[in-house]
Amino acid sequence: MADLGFDGKVAIITGAGGGLGREHALLLASRGAQVVVNDLGGSVAGETAGATADPGPAHTTAKEIEDLGGVAVADVNSVATPEGGEAIVKTALDAFGRVDILINNAGILRDKAFHNMTADLVEPVLDVHLKGAFWVTRPAWISMREHAYGRIVNTSSNSGLLGNFGQANYGAAKMGLVGLTRVLAAEGAKYNIKVNALAPVARTRMTEELLGAMADRLDPGLVSPIVAWLCHEECPVTGEIYSAAGGRIARMFIGLTEGYYNPDLTLEDVRDHFEEIRSETGYIVPSGPHDEFAQLLKHFS
Ligand code: NAI
22 and 138, same domain (yes or no): yes
Residue 50 has pLDDT above 60, yes or no: no
Residue 71 within any structural domain of the chain: yes
Residue 49 has pLDDT above 50, yes or no: no
How far apart CA 71 and CA 63 sit, in angstroms, is 9
**What is the band of 160 on the pLDDT scale with cuts at 50, 70, 90?**
very high
206 and 95, same domain (yes or no): yes
pTM of the predicted structure, to 2 decimals: 0.97
218 and 274, same domain (yes or no): no
193 and 48, same domain (yes or no): yes
69 and 130, same domain (yes or no): yes
* pLDDT tens-digit readout, 235-259: 999 999 999 999 999 999 999 999 9
170 is known as an active-site residue: yes
Which atom of ligand 1 lies nearest, measured to the CA of 54? 11
274 and 242, same domain (yes or no): no
* Dihedral angle computed from the Cα positions of residues 133, 139, 141 and 144, in that order, rounded to the nearest 10 degrees: -140
60 and 171, same domain (yes or no): yes
Residue 2 within any structural domain of the chain: no
131 and 273, same domain (yes or no): no
241 and 188, same domain (yes or no): yes
Q: Which of 14, 20, 86 to mutate to test the pocket of ligand 1 (most atoms within 8 A of CB)?
A: 20
Using only the alpha carbons of the chain, give its radius of gyration. 20
Residue 173 has pLDDT above 90, yes or no: yes
92 and 156, same domain (yes or no): yes
How far apart CA 24 and CA 228 sit, in angstroms, is 7
- Domain with 41 in it: 10-252
For position 40, what pLDDT does the model report? 96
* Count of domains forming the chain: 2
CATH number at residue 35: 3.40.50.720
245 and 271, same domain (yes or no): no
Amino acid at 187: E
Give one word for 242, left, alpha or beta, with left for phi > 0 and alpha for psi -120 to 50.
beta
Yes or no: say if 39 and 73 are a contact pair by the CB < 8 Å rule.
Answer: no
* pLDDT tens-digit readout, 51-61: 556 889 999 99
175 and 271, same domain (yes or no): no
Cβ(171) – ligand 1 distance below 6 Å: no
